[in-house]
Chain A
Amino acid sequence: MSVAVAAPRRRPFIRKTGALPGFGLALGYALSWLGFIVLLPLAALFLRASSAGVEGFAVTLSDPRVQHALLLSFGVSAIAALFATLAGVIIAWALTRYDFPGRQVVDAMVDLPFALPTAVAGIALAALYAPDGLLGAPLAKLGWQVVYNPIGIFIALVFIGLPYAVRTVQPLIAEIDRELEEAAATLGATRWQTVFQVLVPPLAPAALTGLALAFARGLGEYGSVIFIAGNLPGVSEIAPLLIVIKLSEFDYTGATVIAVIMLALAFLMLLVINLIQAWSRRRMGNA
């Protein structure tokens, strides 16, 4: 698989890559690593699930408890990802555009949810928002209970998803010229017009990437959610927990069936997000 042999054979898709050497090697590397790390385990998953057959999938999908768990997982992940993206863009903006004492520290703090074991995050959030917790107590006085129900899941997933949103838009904000805003202002744009017609469009593709990452991360999240959700069947039971329950029943096939359904749905949604992203990128002309 040496490049020297590959190049003279005039394979068109190799020549297209330009003058940079090492394409064959790099692609071979990428594909074999992807194969071992991603494709092989996924293939094993699909193989196991396929032993359930079509009716196995149909039975699982028609179970109201599974339906509710899937709806909950996808719904809350989507809402949490949207919220995290909105908050993330604003945080990224503040961290990139303004200089203030301690900015580096705040900037580093954004990454903490990446590094924290998720169970710790779940326990900490539950402690904070529980009816006798620091934030939970005043909320409880207002009659709001925000843990041990789907709102708890939302809180955990926003926490988990936030760094993805911040880190994907931050480099782009750094790239946007300040003069762009000034030019918009001198040309008579209002502040809102500047924000929505000058600043938001170039940020949109990156924000969408952050959204997709936060969403995907939220879907698979288990460790933090089970400590704050209450896990009541048909109320706050997430799909990953159903998988764990199936495993506890030694029902490996049942577990993989739910996993494959989740994977397929997640893939669909990520594909849609990617398409929107590609479209908005084309519209911006910076493909």
Chain B
Amino acid sequence: MDIGKRSGLTVLGLMVLVVFAAGSGRRRSSGTGTVTVTSAVATAATSSKPEPEEVPDPTTDYKSLDDAKLDGNKAFGKTILLKVWRGSTEASTVTLYGCGKLGGSGFLVASYAVDKRPLVKSIPTTIPIQGHCPRAVIKLTGKQDYSTDFKGELQQILDVTPAEAEKLPAGVDYVSMDDVTIDGKKAAGKVAQLRVYRGDTEEKKFTAYPCKAAGLHFITVNFKPEQKELVKGLSSTPVTCETVKMKLTNQDFVGTWSAQLMDVVKE
């Protein structure tokens, strides 16, 4: 192989590696003590402030779940500052995962007051590619019933602005899986229009996975024989999600629903 060809191959290889680095989660992690906060801040007390503002870290007892765990039960009643993203979000609890190095790799389930819900909904559902995970102050209250993971009370959320309520199309009660999960059983009998992709498919039902939902969710969607072609045409990869209108019939488990297919909404 001549030098020119080899040089071209090297440049191509290095470019692929740089793209890989840019896209992978390794670049999403937060560094230790070198993060400059430039995004908006909002807390329960200051949630009306729309302008971005820089605030220093609040004073807390811990800055990592590992440190708190090392103190065992002595950590109960103390506060911890974490950079977080969220998983399953229910009416009064949210699963918070530590982002990168500051918070370690653990998670905890935190309860939150209703007035903090718009802020909770603003916490990203994955580690953001651009920007940083928001900071949260949590008071540790104990441990989970069946694991050594902490539970706590969400006291303060920084670096986010409160989420605005989604505009609902006529005849639709929900356009986000977040709201369905937050309402829980109350959502049964209501109409949801969600972006989903199709999983396992059977004769009369298929599994729909909501796209960009917090936590793990799936909906078992029943359909009529005449809707078979609609179902067949649904995307089966998360890359191309489609909007599906369905009537929620029953909450089987947290984040797991049964529904009746109404229509596939073309956009």
- On whether the two chains bind one another, the answer is no
Instruction: Give A contacts to B, CB under 8 Å.
Output: none
Q: Which residues of B contact A (CB under 8 A)?
A: none
